[in-house]
Structure 1
Amino acid sequence: MDPVEDAKPLFSNGIELVNLAVSSDVLSNSWAAISELQSQTDRNHQSPPSPETVKIREFEHPEYKIIAFVTPPVATTYLQEAGDLVPSSSSEASEFEFLCSKDSPSFSINKAAISLFNSLRDKQLSPLKAQVATSSKSRPHIITGDCLGGSIASLFTLWLLRILDSATKNRPLCITFGSPLIGDGGFQQAILQYSTWSSCFLHVAHMDDCFPRHFLLSTTEQSLYRPFGTFLLCSKSGGACFEAPKSIIELLTLNSSERNVGTADPQIFSYKSVIECLERRLTCKNQSAFNVADADSFKAGITAQVAAIGLMQIQDRDIDAKIVMPEQDTLEQKNPAIDPAKALDKMKVYLAYFEWYKNKCEDDGRGPGYYDSFKNKMARRDHKVVKFKTELEMYWVPVVEEAEKRPQRVGSPMRIRWLFAGTNYRRMVEPLHIAEYYKWGKRSYISQGRPKHFKLLEQWLDEHQKQPKNSVPNKSKMKKIMFSVTEDSCFWAHVEEARISCRLLNTGGLNSTEIEKLVEFEKYVMGLLKDYAVSPDIFLESSSYMQWWREYEDILRKQMIGDSHNSELICFMNEEYYYQYKSGTW
């Protein structure tokens, strides 16, 4: 691994992210949309939100569309009762059960948020989701809301992400203002496991606004709530962005008793003046208050972020231990986001080199083929191809791992484009893994030595091909892509096991187990030959398959297998296909 990847982070970009959000006007435009909807609601009357009182509207901007959610103010007593969590296994949270995965089998969502979402789902949110899914192909969307409206915006964005193409460039950005946390640690992990989804959420919270921390402080479930996405925390001193969940919770609750958490109406806070303050600071570039002398530039950056949200004046607090270190630990442990789209074309170039290598090994028609050539490594090209094999493995292993972890959806965990590319990689490269495995005298590759990512790629292809024909696009394309390699990427493992069985029979006499294995191999090869599912290189004179054939014919001559009908048939078919290969009619 590149040593740079193991190095500790040198800088923190929390303040720069705020400047980017402010300078792009997404904050001011989002709040302007919310303010316009707020003007249509009675802000002096507190009542539990209902489908009739929730305002939803789309706003047009030259470069994007904004969809705003606004709820009427609610009484403090309602908030105190709204901290219950609903498990993902319940009927109330069934729309989000798709987030469950092997690593995150269950989670819980805030009852008030999910109940309000469900009340809006059929009549208002379902048509809106279909509309946004279509228009997002050409225009990006910002989904926004304040307070409980922000909770609905977050849930709607997750619901929308499920149906969007994973490679779309126009993923929605959800911006909430002063919204409470909506889920537990399981909910947080379910979103974090899919890195591109977590990056779609920006939560704006002022340090004097008690609403974002309400469920952390005033309910019996306070220890269960966890944040997700990026939090833009701000104060009269400025603002900074944080992503580490532990740091966010620490900052939201730090010295909360001194920050008016007992305000009778927690929804009187307006973010218009907050955004204007951030804009002024960006224009004036007044960073003098954040200058911190520290030899550790990363630590200094985090400390500057803490200063930006007005917490440096707090006395008797170990800022380093409680805030800086959790942020740094999280960044060090955080895996880089995998973006397979950016590197896929490069991987195709490496596979093209494999195609060249395979053809080069077959040039004279007398060589062993690329499987045996790589296994013996007699030529310079056999050693050079190791680099490309390693690069491909380093790409596909994490891509498959992330596909396995990501939220459940109907069909294959991988998009068709990556499934086809992964299948091509598996069929071309796995034989080289098999060659290395058997070179050192090992046995049972399929059951004991096969890497997990090859198994999953094969499993997902099988599931994809079992779908109804009218729901499996580009099937002919798959055949066209794969014609130059044997369809079963474990073919050479079966050949190696058959050769081992032949050697055991020649040296040890009758052995029912090995005879049974050879009979099974006969049936397996017969099926492949009938379907033309093997590539012609298996018939090269020095290939392991041809060596097996000659060893097997020797066993038949010695009559070590009693019922030789199938054996004679497989030898006949081998001769027929071998003749086709030699005559060029294969």
Structure 2
Amino acid sequence: MDSVRAAKPLFSNGLDLVDSVVSSDILCNSWAAISELQSQIDRNHQSPPSSETVKIREFKHPEYRIIAFVTPPVAISYLQEEGDLVPSSSSETSEFQFLCSKDNPSFAINKAAISLFNSLQDKLSSLKAQVAASSKSIPHIITGDCLGGSIASLFTQWLLCTLDSATRNRPLCITFGSPLIGDGGFQQAISQYSTWSSCFLHVAHINDCFPRLFLLSTPEQSLYRPFGTFLLCSELGGACFDAPESIIELLTLISRERSGGTADPQIFNYKSVIECLEWRLICKNHSPFSVADADSLKVGITAQVAATGLMQIQNMDIDTLWRKIGMPEKDILARKNQALDPAKSLNKMKVYLAYFEWYKNKSEDDGRGPGYYDSFKNKMFRRDHEVIKFKTELEMYWKPVVEEAEKRPQRAGAPMRIRWLFAGTNYRRMVEPLHIAEYYKWGNRSYIAKGRSKHFKLLEQWLDKYQKQPQNSVPNNSKMKKIMVSITEDSCFWAYVEEARILCRLLNSGGSNSREIAKLVEFEKYVMGLLKNNVVSPDIFLESSSYMQWWREYEDMLGKKMMGASHNSELIRFMEEGGYHQYKSGTFVFE
């Protein structure tokens, strides 16, 4: 984890990414698929596209499948007329409600794109099921040009929400000359989840008017926002950009330069663009540039803008370029640099939890120790201090993982992949008691209301939601749990114990009142419920544990009749008759 926390040097790989994409032939093969479908359409006749006129076809390659979407030529006037944004509150965008989240409650999608997408529902539903089923064994590229690219983007996003978050073969969407299709809310919903954002590559030539169709005169005024990676190119070459602000700025600069002089959208062909990029890859002939600053990131961003041809067009000075394009790209790169790959680190976290298992067993010391909760609270041994390092590492892993899961656009009932949910549950049950120990050691009260971390709350809520789903519920009478649990199921158990001890001290000091007595009665019922379900670890009955300290304090109160002369309960009988000794050995059976 130290390597994750350490600052890493930032450098831009926008030129290298172009080389990688071009050398893989996925651009060439994607455009070839589009071209084949275009040959089946009358390209000289512009008309509003419909479900009958859209061409959809799968093309097989040895290493992947390509699904291409092609529409008849679309008039600029038609797209401008249909350029309104349809809000997420509309029934037209119902298939994309999963994009809404607590931090991003609304979005909007281009009217022309969502209307055409909805008209294709019958075809796309069966196609989505087919691709989702085969994605386990083979990757898919989803592609399209112009409005067909918009449908490809929406289909890809619709498909992504159905795939398991750990699916290795996520689809890659490649669009050519596609208009922007959503507002800031749409962009944010996709961009805040890095594994979704990386599934989109939009190729846009500076002479193609469609990618900049919905932009206004200044970037700040534009309602439309880009998402994913944009490969901006010209006859001089191309470069990739990720920051929405940088992409908007570059597209706006192109619009100002090309206003009134756009190429005929009916004849623009990306085949020559791809061939040019391939030739430059062979010759390694990136556009020349000069920059005095030795900062590698600035040099990289400057080279990217130079490769698109915009520096020659705009005669942009380096300071302006860095402020408007370089800084947003730097922010994106910094976030990527700090990003945690949960899949790569999960096994390492399991090793840390294994250390906690050792620590817990060592703290019990064959039944003579205080238990790991009280051992950590009192920190009388070296191991009690050493475990802090592992506790910190686990927290630094799980907090960002839970935060990303909460922000992620979600389909119903799937806030976190089951593997992570169960691993997070093990972490919560093992580690949260140590947070509780630290909290009460310093005299604090009301941990659950005032001191509990949000990521613990969410992990518990998600597990509860998962278990309440019918297909995941387990009948109570399916099997009697005879194997004792190694860790208490309720990770807040020790907080309830600490609060019960505080109540006992208040009552013993003369602060008796019916409210405090009622809370203690509730605590009795709570503990007995855990015991009956065999979901509390036997280490609570170690003689030096906080629970047994509470029991001795409570037993003293009972002897003084402070709970009432006739007060008796199932827990009191269980404790006084020594049932907990049998519970520790796993031989007690509740009737």
Q: Which TM-score bucket, shorter chain as reference? A: over 0.9
User: Match of 1:566, SS?
Assistant: coil
1:349-406 deviation per Cα after TM superposition (whole angstroms, max 9, x unaligned):
1111111111111123111100000000101111111111111111111111111111
User: Match of 2:233, SS?
Assistant: strand
With over 3 angstroms needed to count, the CA separation of the structure-2 counterparts of 1:58 and 1:320, relative to structure 1, is same
Give the Cα–Cα distance (whole angstroms) in 1 for the partners of residues 20 and 151 of structure 2.
25
Is the contact between residue 557 and residue 563 of structure 2 (CA under 8 Å) also seen in structure 1? yes
Give the Cα–Cα distance (whole angstroms) in 1 for the partners of residues 220 and 74 of structure 2.
20
Matched, 1:21 2:31: no
Give the Cα–Cα distance (whole angstroms) in 1 for the partners of residues 170 and 316 of structure 2.
43
The one-letter code sitting in structure 2 at the alignment partner of 1:458 is: E
1:75-132 deviation per Cα after TM superposition (whole angstroms, max 9, x unaligned):
232122121110011011111111000111001100000000000112x111100000
The one-letter code sitting in structure 2 at the alignment partner of 1:571 is: I
The one-letter code sitting in structure 1 at the alignment partner of 2:31 is: W
Is the contact between residue 201 and residue 228 of structure 2 (CA under 8 Å) also seen in structure 1? yes
With over 3 angstroms needed to count, the CA separation of the structure-2 counterparts of 1:582 and 1:237, relative to structure 1, is closer
The one-letter code sitting in structure 2 at the alignment partner of 1:300 is: V
Matched, 1:295 2:297: no
The one-letter code sitting in structure 1 at the alignment partner of 2:384 is: D
Is the contact between residue 208 and residue 263 of structure 2 (CA under 8 Å) also seen in structure 1? no
Corresponding residue for residue 448 of structure 2: 446
User: Match of 1:278, SS?
Assistant: helix
Corresponding residue for residue 42 of structure 1: 42
Is the contact between residue 522 and residue 566 of structure 1 (CA under 8 Å) also seen in structure 2? no
Give the Cα–Cα distance (whole angstroms) in 2 for the partners of residues 125 and 208 of structure 1.
32
Is the contact between residue 80 and residue 218 of structure 1 (CA under 8 Å) also seen in structure 2? no
Deviates more, 1:575-584 or 1:406-415: 575-584
User: Match of 1:508, SS?
Assistant: coil
The one-letter code sitting in structure 2 at the alignment partner of 1:204 is: V
After the TM superposition, which residues 552-571 of structure 1 pair with which residues of structure 2 at under 5 Å, given as runs? 552-562=554-564, 564-567=566-569, 569-571=570-572
Give the Cα–Cα distance (whole angstroms) in 2 for the partners of residues 456 and 522 of structure 1.
27
How many aligned positions are there?
582
After the TM superposition, which residues 401-412 of structure 1 pair with which residues of structure 2 at under 5 Å, given as runs? 401-412=403-414
Is the contact between residue 292 and residue 304 of structure 1 (CA under 8 Å) also seen in structure 2? no
Is the contact between residue 69 and residue 151 of structure 2 (CA under 8 Å) also seen in structure 1? yes
1:429-466 deviation per Cα after TM superposition (whole angstroms, max 9, x unaligned):
11100000010111111111111111111111111111
After the TM superposition, which residues 158-169 of structure 1 pair with which residues of structure 2 at under 5 Å, given as runs? 158-169=157-168
Deviates more, 1:322-331 or 1:397-406: 322-331
Give the Cα–Cα distance (whole angstroms) in 1 for the partners of residues 382 and 144 of structure 2.
62
With over 3 angstroms needed to count, the CA separation of the structure-2 counterparts of 1:171 and 1:152, relative to structure 1, is same
1:481-503 deviation per Cα after TM superposition (whole angstroms, max 9, x unaligned):
99211111111111111111111
User: TM-score under structure 2 normalisation?
Assistant: 0.94
With over 3 angstroms needed to count, the CA separation of the structure-2 counterparts of 1:583 and 1:316, relative to structure 1, is closer
Q: CA deviation at 1:208?
A: 1.1
Is the contact between residue 397 and residue 453 of structure 1 (CA under 8 Å) also seen in structure 2? yes
Corresponding residue for residue 247 of structure 2: 248
With over 3 angstroms needed to count, the CA separation of the structure-2 counterparts of 1:102 and 1:502, relative to structure 1, is same
Corresponding residue for residue 280 of structure 1: 279
1:222-280 deviation per Cα after TM superposition (whole angstroms, max 9, x unaligned):
71000000000001111100001111011111152432655474232111011111111
Is the contact between residue 215 and residue 222 of structure 1 (CA under 8 Å) also seen in structure 2? no
User: TM-score under structure 1 normalisation?
Assistant: 0.94
Corresponding residue for residue 349 of structure 2: 347
Taking only the aligned residue pairs, the percentage that are identical comes to: 80
User: Match of 1:216, SS?
Assistant: coil
Q: CA deviation at 1:149?
A: 0.3
With over 3 angstroms needed to count, the CA separation of the structure-2 counterparts of 1:365 and 1:481, relative to structure 1, is closer
Is the contact between residue 64 and residue 140 of structure 2 (CA under 8 Å) also seen in structure 1? yes
Corresponding residue for residue 119 of structure 1: 119
Matched, 1:79 2:52: no
Q: Which one of 380, 383, 404 corresponds to residue 382 of structure 2?
A: 380
Give the Cα–Cα distance (whole angstroms) in 1 for the partners of residues 202 and 483 of structure 2.
45
With over 3 angstroms needed to count, the CA separation of the structure-2 counterparts of 1:473 and 1:171, relative to structure 1, is farther
Q: CA deviation at 1:219?
A: 12
Is the contact between residue 290 and residue 308 of structure 1 (CA under 8 Å) also seen in structure 2? no
Q: CA deviation at 1:340?
A: 1.7
User: Match of 1:80, SS?
Assistant: helix
User: Match of 1:143, SS?
Assistant: strand
With over 3 angstroms needed to count, the CA separation of the structure-2 counterparts of 1:471 and 1:359, relative to structure 1, is closer
After the TM superposition, which residues 90-105 of structure 1 pair with which residues of structure 2 at under 5 Å, given as runs? 90-105=90-105
With over 3 angstroms needed to count, the CA separation of the structure-2 counterparts of 1:498 and 1:242, relative to structure 1, is same
Q: CA deviation at 1:566?
A: 3.2
Matched, 1:461 2:463: yes
Give the Cα–Cα distance (whole angstroms) in 2 for the partners of residues 229 and 48 of structure 1.
27
With over 3 angstroms needed to count, the CA separation of the structure-2 counterparts of 1:345 and 1:130, relative to structure 1, is same
After the TM superposition, which residues 174-185 of structure 1 pair with which residues of structure 2 at under 5 Å, given as runs? 174-185=173-184
Unaligned runs of 5+ in 1: none
User: Match of 2:534, SS?
Assistant: coil
With over 3 angstroms needed to count, the CA separation of the structure-2 counterparts of 1:310 and 1:482, relative to structure 1, is farther
The one-letter code sitting in structure 1 at the alignment partner of 2:383 is: R
1:191-222 deviation per Cα after TM superposition (whole angstroms, max 9, x unaligned):
11211101100000011111110111499997
Deviates more, 1:41-50 or 1:335-344: 335-344
Q: Which one of 326, 329, 332 corresponds to residue 328 of structure 2?
A: 326
Give the Cα–Cα distance (whole angstroms) in 2 for the partners of residues 375 and 243 of structure 1.
47
Q: CA deviation at 1:552?
A: 0.7
Is the contact between residue 179 and residue 211 of structure 1 (CA under 8 Å) also seen in structure 2? yes
With over 3 angstroms needed to count, the CA separation of the structure-2 counterparts of 1:540 and 1:88, relative to structure 1, is same
Is the contact between residue 83 and residue 219 of structure 1 (CA under 8 Å) also seen in structure 2? no
User: Match of 1:215, SS?
Assistant: coil
Corresponding residue for residue 419 of structure 2: 417
Unaligned runs of 5+ in 2: none
After the TM superposition, which residues 461-500 of structure 1 pair with which residues of structure 2 at under 5 Å, given as runs? 461-468=463-470, 470-472=471-473, 483-500=485-502
After the TM superposition, which residues 223-262 of structure 1 pair with which residues of structure 2 at under 5 Å, given as runs? 223-259=222-258, 261-262=260-261
Is the contact between residue 208 and residue 260 of structure 1 (CA under 8 Å) also seen in structure 2? no
1:136-194 deviation per Cα after TM superposition (whole angstroms, max 9, x unaligned):
11000000000000000000000000100110000000000000000001111111121
Deviates more, 1:542-551 or 1:150-159: 542-551
Corresponding residue for residue 142 of structure 1: 141
Is the contact between residue 202 and residue 230 of structure 1 (CA under 8 Å) also seen in structure 2? yes
The one-letter code sitting in structure 2 at the alignment partner of 1:54 is: V
The one-letter code sitting in structure 1 at the alignment partner of 2:391 is: K
User: Match of 1:517, SS?
Assistant: helix
The one-letter code sitting in structure 2 at the alignment partner of 1:465 is: Q
The one-letter code sitting in structure 1 at the alignment partner of 2:554 is: Y
Corresponding residue for residue 57 of structure 1: 57
Give the Cα–Cα distance (whole angstroms) in 2 for the partners of residues 219 and 434 of structure 1.
53
The one-letter code sitting in structure 2 at the alignment partner of 1:243 is: D
Give the Cα–Cα distance (whole angstroms) in 1 for the partners of residues 215 and 484 of structure 2.
55
Deviates more, 1:218-227 or 1:53-62: 218-227
Give the Cα–Cα distance (whole angstroms) in 2 for the partners of residues 258 and 29 of structure 1.
31
Q: CA deviation at 1:315?
A: 2.7
Deviates more, 1:270-279 or 1:70-79: 70-79
Is the contact between residue 44 and residue 266 of structure 2 (CA under 8 Å) also seen in structure 1? no
With over 3 angstroms needed to count, the CA separation of the structure-2 counterparts of 1:480 and 1:15, relative to structure 1, is farther
With over 3 angstroms needed to count, the CA separation of the structure-2 counterparts of 1:50 and 1:480, relative to structure 1, is farther
